[in-house]
Amino acid sequence: MCYTIPALVEEVRKGVATISYFGERKQAYCEFVKLSPGDYIYAQGGYVVEKISPAQAQKTLKAWKDVFFQLRKLDAESAALKANDNSSDLKLQRILEKARNSGKLSKAEALFLLRLKDPQAQFLLRRTANYLRQKFHNNSCCVHGILEISNICVRQCAYCGISAPSGPVRYRMSVGEIIAAAGEAVNKFGFKSLVLQSGEGCGYTVEELAEIVKKIRQRFPVLIFISFGEVGIPGLRKLYAAGARGLLLRFETSNPALYKKIHPGDTLDSRIKHLQAAYRMGYLIITGGLIGLPGSTEADSVNDINLAASLHAEMLSFGPFLPHPFTPLAKHPAPSEEAVLGVLALARIIFPAKTKILITTAYETLSPQARQNGLISGGNSIMINVTPLKYRSLYTIYPHRAHADQTVAQQVREALAMLKSFGRGPTDLGN
Ligand code: SF4
């Protein structure tokens, strides 16, 4: 995972390969692998991560061929608009039609959609998002693995259960444990993309983190995203040189005053500068914010989506604020599931084509039906936690995290069965 299927290399020009999935062409950078036309590869996030033998590729493609097209058909049929996808509310109907035709919504129109209270109107909003998701992304669903290498953190984010100085028992996986967990994720479970995550100032220096990234890249064919907080611009450079190609760094809110309030000693400006620098370096960007953060408004949510897009996010990560009992925001309620789905659907409507939308673990913690509901509201990405079980329960950003006690095998099995039942293929390549 992202459980890609093998692709055939048709052409290689200036470090970019044109590849084909059963005739559907895409492009991928091949800086990690030397290629020629006729080779078979696995690609991820727009990068070729592995070259495989023709025999191995043919075997997998033979097994996938019928399923690939069946899943697409199932998804296309369920996402297609039907007569009852129209509203008698003329204003709503006009905005939805504009969205379906990829028209750019004004801020007032976006706010109107986010403020819908009628369940039928909310349903139509989500149907429109699902229609656009299928139209531009087909049935692909990205499935990254996430490995939480340390819960040590020097920050004091007001919503976070592992913020300094108190928090849970601290751990830092050894280099050997990290390599072993990454190896198991790639070799045993087939992940093609891994997010390495920790608190900020996690007990490893940037140089040590870069060495870990390098070791994983040398041993395993996998695309690596880093999520170590703000490591500084030189730090981002070192990690990129070591082989990291993606950055997961959320800004949480686009409201500078609120940002400052909940992130003591930090500024939104600094976070944005990190994200902008990372994009210029060539990182794939995953970013987003908290939905229902105390003190935020619906207008903030619209601004959050716009900010994420202006940062060239290849994936949006918007999850609900979940109160942790040991934090200053403990008494504030989590948002409703409808509010979360409204933001996901609006994000898809505002940016139909370019970005993947993640169904976050925080949303899965809020609702047992999160993946199912998120997938039909514009979402097309999930993450599976590959952190060893003995550490997983200590990464308590919020309490009662979904999948905290499930083995990787259980999670993979359940995720694949669920995706299949929705006609989704783990065939993602990015844009
Ligand atoms: S949100 Fe991240 S940076 Fe902030 S306290 Fe939690 S782990 Fe640390």
| Residue where a domain stops, chosen among 65, 87, 104 | 65
Q: Is the CB of 153 under 6 A from ligand 1?
A: yes
pLDDT of residue 429: 36
Are the beta carbons of 269 and 306 closer than 8 angstroms? no
Task: DSSP letter for 361, please.
Answer: H
229 lines ligand 1 (CB under 6 A): yes
Stretches where the chain sits below pLDDT 50 are 1, 428-431
pLDDT of residue 16: 94
Where a domain ends, among 15, 35, 65? 65
In this structure, the answer to whether residues 178 and 61 fall within a common structural domain is no
pLDDT attached to residue 164: 67
Domain membership flag for residue 124: no
Is residue 335 located within the same domain as residue 414?
A: yes
Range of the domain at 281: 136-421
Whether 100 maps to a domain, the answer reads no
Q: What is the pLDDT of residue 392?
A: 95
Domain assignment present for residue 91? The answer is no
pLDDT for the residue numbered 218: 96
Q: Are residues 352 and 259 in the same domain?
A: yes
Q: Return phi, psi of residue 220, to 5°.
A: -130, 145
Helix residue spans in 117-255 (DSSP H): 119-137, 175-183, 206-219, 233-242
Whether residue 324 sits in one domain with residue 179: yes
Predicted confidence at residue 430, as pLDDT, reads: 36
Total-model pTM: 0.95
CA of 152 to the centre of ligand 1 (A): 9
Ligand 1 centroid – CA 157 distance (Å): 6
Domain endpoint, select from 34, 65, 96: 65
Q: Give the residue carrying structure tokens 């229609």.
A: 131
Q: Is-contact 207 241, C-beta < 8 A? A: no
**Closest C-alpha among 171, 174, 177 to residue 153:** 171
CA distance 220 to 201: 26
Residue 175 lies in a domain: yes
In the reported structure, the alpha carbon of residue 146 is separated from the centroid of ligand 1 by a whole-number distance in angstroms of 16
Look at the chain and report how many structural domains it folds into: 2
- The verdict on 52 and 184 lying in the same domain is no
Spatial distance between the Cα atoms of 143 and 427, rounded to a whole number of angstroms: 9
Residue 118 lies in a domain: no
Q: Report the CATH number that the domain containing residue 16 is assigned in CATH.
A: 2.30.30.140
Residue 72 located in a structural domain: no
Same-domain pairing of 278 and 362: yes
Sign of torsion, CA 211 214 220 226? Answer: positive
Kindly report the number of other CB atoms within 10 A of residue 351's CB atom.
19
CB neighbours of 170 closer than 8 A, spacing ≥ 6? 150, 151, 152, 203, 394
Choose which residue among 150, 200, 293 to substitute to test ligand 1 binding: the one with the highest number of ligand atoms within 8 A of its C-beta: 200
- pLDDT at residue 45, as a whole number: 85
State whether 38 and 149 are in the same domain.
no
Q: Indicate if 144 and 225 belong to the same structural domain.
A: yes
Q: Please state the atom number of ligand 1 nearest to the C-alpha of residue 161.
A: 6
pLDDT value of position 427: 58
**Residue 200 included in any domain:** yes
75 part of a folded domain: no
CATH number at residue 325: 3.20.20.70
